[in-house]
Amino acid sequence: PLCANWFGALVLCRVLLGIGEGLGLPSIFHLFALRVPAEMRSTAFGYLVAFGSAGQTIAALACPHLPWQLSFYSFGCAGLLWSLVWLLLYREAAAVPPLQQRSFQQLAEQQSAGESGLNGFESKASSVRWTEFISHWPLWAIYIAHFTMNWSNYIIMNWLPTYLSKTLGADKNQIMFTAVPYILNSFVGIGAGYFSDALIRERWTALSVRRLMTFVGLVGPGVLILLFAGSSSIALAVLFISLSMGLSACNSSGHLANHAEVAPGHAGITFAVSNALATIPGVLCGPLTAELVTKSGGRWFPVYILAGLMNLVGAVVYVSQSSATQLL
């Protein structure tokens, strides 16, 4: 707010904000990969995504009722307060012992396949070149799954209120229901995390769990988006899009958690690459959606067909090319 009247200073603040936010999630992914045991990892990522959705929901509901300056001051102060709590309470701890990093089933499979076996994850920090972060198909499977997940999520985030009001005639009170998808996303993300970890404790392989949750988290929302596009009532539309966002949270136990298996010592970097590519839909979805709606005479179905196909492609690529074996 202090820089609102100075364009250059405003742009600088926005750039610095982006740099700060860009460091946050990769650091969390790195910590999770090194500190959280394999049998608890899905739950940890589920909570991470859930609280992110909760924050978006709280901000979306609170900010319209606050002076715009107070919105920035309140959330900025909350961030500073949490940073202070983190600095005071966080303690450096030893990394998870190798035997805890992999489930029994994974270790057994590696022994039978002649891999590293009971020695756990091998440290490859000194041998990793930057080109290796874009040189492995299992990594690209994660990147593509993340890209396609974000494509449909950005369309919902940017255009849901417009679609409900312009196409289905929703009023201001009904527009408030656009918070429901994010609330359901939070609860399903946590539930999917506990369920995935339970499967791993039941000796499912990590790869099987990651593929299952990514398949559900991409194909399910893809189908539901198409049902949403064909809905003529606000209630059905909100139901379908809420279920879509709910199932999308399964990705937190799928490809998002997969970073910790394929690159345990470099999960922050692989997520940073993935997240950079996955922000492209945020840039493209707005103008492309507007162009498709305009060219099709005001119809939205092409937009949702494209989103559904994106999700299907992402699911096929991930299920066929993913791995839970350490690459980096």
Q: For residue 225, is it within any domain? A: yes
Residue stretches of the chain with pLDDT short of 50:
98-108, 110-120
Cβ-contact 314, 144 below 8 angstroms: yes
CA 148 from chain center: how many Å?
Answer: 11
Which pLDDT does position 103 carry in this prediction? Answer: 45
For residue 286, what is the enclosing H or E element?
Answer: helix 280-295
Q: For residue 230, is it within any domain? A: yes
Vertex 280, ends 279 and 282: CA angle to 5°?
A: 65
- Domain range spanning residue 300? 16-91+136-321
- What are the tokens at 268? 């922050």
Which pLDDT does position 268 carry in this prediction? Answer: 93
Q: For residue 96, is it within any domain? A: no
Cβ-contact 160, 241 below 8 angstroms: yes
- Count structural domains, the chain: 1
Which CATH number does the domain housing residue 310 bear? 1.20.1250.20
Which pLDDT does position 95 carry in this prediction? Answer: 57
Q: For residue 114, is it within any domain? A: no
Q: What is the DSSP letter of 4?
A: T
Q: What is the pLDDT of residues 180-213, one digit of tens each?
A: 899 999 999 999 999 999 999 999 999 999 999 9
Q: For residue 253, is it within any domain? A: yes
Q: For residue 103, is it within any domain? A: no
CA distance 222 to 311: 6
Q: For residue 153, is it within any domain? A: yes
Q: For residue 99, is it within any domain? A: no
